[in-house]
Amino acid sequence: MLLPILNKQFLSASYTSPTEKIIQFGGGNFLRAFVDWMVAQMNEKIGFDAGIVIVKPTPSGHYDDLIQQEGLV
């Protein structure tokens, strides 16, 4: 059984995106699973209100999965 793709349809109507405060060079699994998780924890526990903007550091590679998720991690 495949899980549905995460996208903005899964968010409640009252959800607001956090303020973009962090520029992240690269969107690899480690950064998204560890560093971005720590920022999400700070947002949740202390109201940090920090969004992350991912910058593609090289011309090669692609972020098709992230684009399909509408930027949600």
What does the alpha-carbon distance between residue 48 and residue 58 come to, in Å, rounded to a whole number? 30
Domain span including residue 60: 18-68
Give the number of domains in the chain: 1
Within a domain: 4? no
Query: Across the chain, how many H-helices and E-strands are there?
Result: 3, 2
Using the structure block, give the residue that is written with the tokens 């303020």. 19
| Each residue's pLDDT tens digit, 47-68 | 999 999 999 998 887 888 888 8
Of 4-13, 17-26, 34-43, the poorest mean pLDDT is in: 4-13
Please state the pTM of the whole predicted model.
0.77
| Each residue's pLDDT tens digit, 5-15 | 888 888 888 88
Give the residue with greater pLDDT, 71 vs 19: 19
Task: Label residue 73 by pLDDT band (50, 70, 90).
Answer: low
